[in-house]
Amino acid sequence: MGEVEGGGTGREPSPSSRLDAALAKGRPGLVCYLPLGDPLVPEGLATALLEAGADVLEVGVPAANPRLDGPVVADSMRRARAAGVDRRRAVALLAGLRERVGAHAIVWMGYPERLGERWAREVAVSGVDAVLLAEAPRRLAGPRRWLAAAGVPLLGFLDLELDPADVALASGAKSGYVMVQAVPGRTGVRLGGPDPRLPRALATLRRAGVQVPLAVGFGVAGAEAARHVVELGADAVVIGSAVLEAALDGLPRVSTLIADVRRALDAR
C-alpha cells in the first residue's frame, strides 16, 4: 500500500478525536470496508479508498465464524486466515496501516471471538481509533469495559429490531458512530434497497437522544443506494461487499466505485 499523508503537525490526536474529525466535515460520511490480509486483494487498496473519498476505513479482522457476512466477505476472511493472519498478525498489519495512512480514521471491525483484557491492550497497540463488533451492544459489557480501560471506544452495532437496552447504550455514546443495518441478514450486495423499517429505526434513535452519526451499511452497493439511505436519515454510509468485489477486479474499478459514491453524497 502506498502512503497517504495525514496532514497537520503537533501532538498525535486521540482515537476518538481522529474518528470524530473524519465524520465532521459538513457532508455525509463515507465508511469503506478494508479486508485485512486477504492475499487476493491488491496492494494499495487503503490508499485508493482514501484518495477516492472515503472518510473512515473499517478494517475487517479475520474471524473463525463470520456469521453475519455473506460469501464475498466470509471467503476473504478464510483466505486471510489460511495465509496466517491470526490476531497477532492482524495487530501488526493494522499498526503498519496506521503508519501508512497517518491521521486518517481506522476502525477494527470484527466478531466477539477470544476477547479479554489482553485483546483490548493489543487493539490499543494496533493504533485503531475504535472497535466495532458484530454483536448487540447489550451483550458486550465485558469488551466495552476492557476497551475503555485501554482507551479505545467501542462503537454500537444495531439491527432493525431495536432493543431498548441497545438504544440506551447508543444514546450514551459521546464519540464515533453507531452502525445500523440497512437490511436484515448477512452482508452482500443487494438490489432491492433498504428495509422499509430503516427510516423509522433512524428516527427512533434520534428521538432517544443518539447524538453521534448514524452509519448505515449491509447491502449498500453504489452511488444511488448510498444517496438513498442518506435521504432516509443516515449521516454516513458503509460500503462493504461492493468494495471487496470491486477490489478483486483491480484498483481502478474500486477507485471509480468510491469516487462515484463520494460525488453522489456530496451532490445532495
Is the pLDDT assigned to residue 89 strictly greater than 50? yes
Please say if 231 is a catalytic residue: no
8 pLDDT above the threshold of 60: no
Q: What domains appear along the chain, each with residue ranges and CATH number?
A: 15-154+221-266 (3.20.20.70)
DSSP state, residue 240: -
* The three grid cell numbers given for residue 172, joined into one nine-digit string: 450514551
Q: Is there a catalytic annotation at residue 55?
A: no
Of 20, 58, 159, 245, catalytic:
58
Q: How far apart are CA 106 and CA 116, in angstroms?
A: 21
Write down the pLDDT at residue 186: 83
Active-site pick, 20, 38, 55, 69: 69
171 bridge partner residues: none
User: How far apart are the C-alpha atoms of 167 and 220, rounded to whole Å?
Assistant: 23
pLDDT greater than 50 at residue 158:
yes
Residue 5 predicted with pLDDT over 70? no
Say what the pTM is: 0.93
Q: pLDDT tens digits for 42-74?
A: 999 999 999 999 999 999 999 999 999 999 999
Q: DSSP 3-state assignment of 68?
A: coil
